[in-house]
Chain A
């Protein structure tokens, strides 16, 4: 839409009484979608999706979308996984994650292709796929961004795709060598996935460090950590960890500092959690510089689209590897799901998440239920 048209529409919009605006906005969106549908000859699909309506308010609402474009497929969701850190940050308006509302959350979903665009090759109607798709019953996506789900992998497992990729790229940057001592700070979903992927690299020992013992049960399951430390019980336990590699899987300034304290002199600290917030509470000299630490930023946004290197695989490579690990049972993720929610329960789900998530780790919406 050209800027001059947007300006005119905005001027008109501000003259409309506030009470009438939502209805008129809805009418406008519906009308333009219909015009677009006619112009592009793409059918209008009815779906339902989770929306954040305001701070700490989620609701399942009906919505309309256009059928797939030439390079897209229409996916009917089976299962979507909540990315707790990011979604909670947006829901609560935390630093670095302030967005306008309504906001449509979700980016890790598995489902079935029910329509495809004319240019799509390699994916057929009926195929099971997973990828960066919102919490919605139906969504279109570029076929090239999706992964075909292997036959032995369930929709629940495949819904971990995006979170799996996030952790894999971080673990890769950590370059853990067999026999190294590894610590994972934070035992939410990212932390627990990091435990399991680090374990595959045969460290000498694997230690989880968390504020409390709430998530210990899952952390010590087969394929998890050797030792679980609770900061609530002993704040100073961090100094005894002396890990060669520390994976920081929280994203708060406090957790960043904890991770550095857990590293041995000359150790490596991988910042995997999406960092939010500022702090003055960091004695750079004593915590990091004097101890000769290597700090490695590992956010998913840094992944190359092509030209992979040993420490930086592409998104497509990491996704494929994740599904292979699950398929061959070298990585178990289903037991990390602690709440299998119906989409209709989303209000209660996000209420719990906003309050800190209680003891939950993996929360899925099962769209086929």
Chain B
């Protein structure tokens, strides 16, 4: 398969990582690097043996660039995606897809109109632990899912909010307008995506309470969400970036026949059924998983979809679903009532799932 020539846009820490992993995937060639911080971008281009572009326009104008990988602040996702699509470039965009559903809709429509592919970096789903959990659930380990609980707590220091760890310090993460929200849209979005992926379910109705109680930011640093799932089950999220002294990250998925718990130690599974050759009625711990570059997998799958003209493994519609849940969660507190999660609207621009190369 011919490698996809990708232009790297943004040269922050995540961008650097994404670029390295994309190159290491064996399916992509770094065709250029651009960042407003020219010095950082030049250094990055040199390290990747790729050309440096002084502007986004010049990168998009290069015939050598087939796709762009956007690792830029959230508020730039829409405009930069639309610009790239208009130049016939495929787009790999960091999560979340956008800050609002209107932005996401425009991005999807523009990519469809220009016949380019769009994917969102929800690549954690390629982690072997996540794949295993999905497999166990498909094999019937938990039966019909009745409950999901997501627990995500950590501590973000004051410097985080002003970009102290970034090579181009900026306080966009603290801004509601620029970031779209706080801990939920910035971090927990990954968990929501892979829980959707593992279970095949979506949130259909949500209510949240959130606040900013310990951070120099406009956006929330603590949030609690209750949700109804598409199969009638119930989910809850408890998340904050102000819990001192302990990192909590655990997902619990349970159903009529068992329970799966994912956390830093791996995956635990209890089933009343003999799944995976295991004795039923016991908790089994899966702690050893192969080291896999989830970003490289994401790029690899995307390149395959571009070359084969098929829908990306992580499509823009999945990016939409994720954002729709998060948007509804935020709006529910603002309106003081539970809200239905918006399904993607029927659009003449989205006729089928197979896109033209």
Which of the 9-residue segments B180-188, B223-231, B272-280 touches chain A?
A: B272-280
Q: What are the residues of chain B within 8 A of A57 when measuring CB–CB?
A: 272, 280-281
Leading 7 A-B pairs by shortest Cβ distance: A53-B281, A57-B281, A57-B272, A54-B281, A57-B280, A59-B280, A347-B274
Q: Chain A, 44-84, contact with B by CB distance < 8 Å: what is the 0/1 string?
A: 00000000011011010100000000000000000000000
Which of chain B's residues 264-287 have a Cβ closer than 8 Å to chain A?
A: 272-274, 279-281
Chain B residue nearest in CB terms to A60? B274
Which residues of A lie under 8 Å from residue B273 when comparing CB positions?
Answer: 347-348, 351
Residues in A with CB closer than 8 Å to B257 are: 351
* A53, closest chain B residue (CB): B281
Chain B residue nearest to A22 (CB atoms) is: B282
- Digitize A337-354: 1 where CB-to-B-CB distance is under 8 Å, 0 elsewhere: 000000000011001000
A/B interface sample: 20 pairs, CB < 8 A: A53-B280, A53-B281, A54-B272, A54-B281, A56-B272, A57-B272, A57-B281, A59-B274, A59-B279, A59-B280, A59-B281, A61-B279, A347-B272, A347-B273, A347-B274, A347-B280, A348-B273, A351-B257, A351-B272, A351-B273
Q: Report B-chain residues with C-beta under 8 Å of the C-beta of A53.
A: 279-281
* Alpha-carbon distance A351/B274, docked complex (angstroms): 12
Main secondary structure of the interface of A (DSSP, over half): strand
Residues of A within 8 Å of B, CB-based: how many?
9
Chain A residues engaging chain B, CB cutoff 8 angstroms: 53-54, 56-57, 59, 61, 347-348, 351
Which residues of the partner chain B approach A59 to less than 8 Å between Cβ atoms? Answer: 274, 279-281
Q: Which residues of B contact A348 (CB under 8 A)?
A: 273
User: Which residues of chain B have C-beta atoms less than 8 A from A56's C-beta?
Assistant: 272
Contacts of A347 in B (CB 8 A): 272-274, 280
- Smallest beta-carbon distance B288→chain A, Å: 19
Specify the chain B residue showing the minimal Cβ separation from A52: B281
Minimum Cβ distance to chain A for residue B77 (Å): 47
Provide the residues of chain A in CB contact with B281, threshold 8 Å.
53-54, 57, 59
Q: Which of A54, A56, A57 has the most CB of B within 10 A?
A: A57
Nearest B residue (CB) for A350: B272
Closest to A346 in B: B274
Tell me the minimal C-beta distance from B262 to chain A in angstroms: 22
Q: How far is the CA of A39 from the CA of B273 in the complex (A)?
A: 39
Q: What are the residues of chain A within 8 A of B274 when measuring CB–CB?
A: 59, 347
B46-64 Cβ-contact flags toward A at 8 Å (1 or 0): 0000000000000000000
Q: How far is the CA of A347 from the CA of B280 in the complex (A)?
A: 9
For the complex formed, measure the closest distance between the CB of A54 and the CB atoms of chain B, giving whole angstroms. Answer: 5
Q: How far is the CA of A56 from the CA of B270 in the complex (A)?
A: 13
Specify the chain A residue showing the minimal Cβ separation from B272: A57
Q: A53-B281, A59-B274, A59-B279 known; 15 other A-B pairs, CB under 8 Å? A: A53-B279, A53-B280, A54-B281, A56-B272, A57-B272, A57-B280, A57-B281, A59-B280, A59-B281, A61-B279, A347-B272, A347-B274, A351-B257, A351-B272, A351-B273
Nearest A residue to B282 via CB reads A53
CA distance A347 to B281 in the complex (A): 11
Complex contacts, B280 vs chain A, CB 8 Å: 53, 57, 59, 347
Nearest residue in A to B258 (C-beta to C-beta)? A57
Minimum Cβ distance to chain A for residue B296 (Å): 39
CA A16 to CA B146, docked complex, whole Å = 36
Bound complex: CA A61 to CA B281 (Å): 13
- Least CB distance, B145 to chain A, in whole angstroms: 16
Bound-complex Cα distance A278 to B131 (A): 48
Report the separation of the CA atoms of residues A59 and B280 in the bound assembly, to the nearest whole angstrom: 7
Once the chains are docked, how many angstroms separate the CA of A53 from the CA of B273? 11
Nearest B residue (CB) for A59: B280
Q: B196 CB to closest chain A CB, in angstroms?
A: 27
* Complex Cα spacing A272 to B274, Å: 35
- Tell me which residues across on chain B come within 8 A of A54, comparing CB atoms: 272, 281
| CB-defined contacts of A61 to chain B, threshold 8 Å | 279
Interchain CA distance A41-B241 in the complex, whole Å:
69
B144 CB to nearest chain A CB (Å): 11
Bound complex: CA A351 to CA B279 (Å): 15
Q: Report B281-301 CB contacts with A as 1/0, cut-off 8 Å.
A: 100000000000000000000
Expressed in whole angstroms, the Cα–Cα distance for A310 and B209 within the complex equals 75
Question: With the chains together, A348 CA to B140 CA distance in Å?
Answer: 11
Q: In whole angstroms, how far apart are the Cα atoms of A347 and B273 in the complex?
A: 6
Name the B residues within 8 Å of A351 (CB-CB).
Answer: 257, 272-273
Q: Quick one: closest A residue to B275, CB to CB?
A: A347
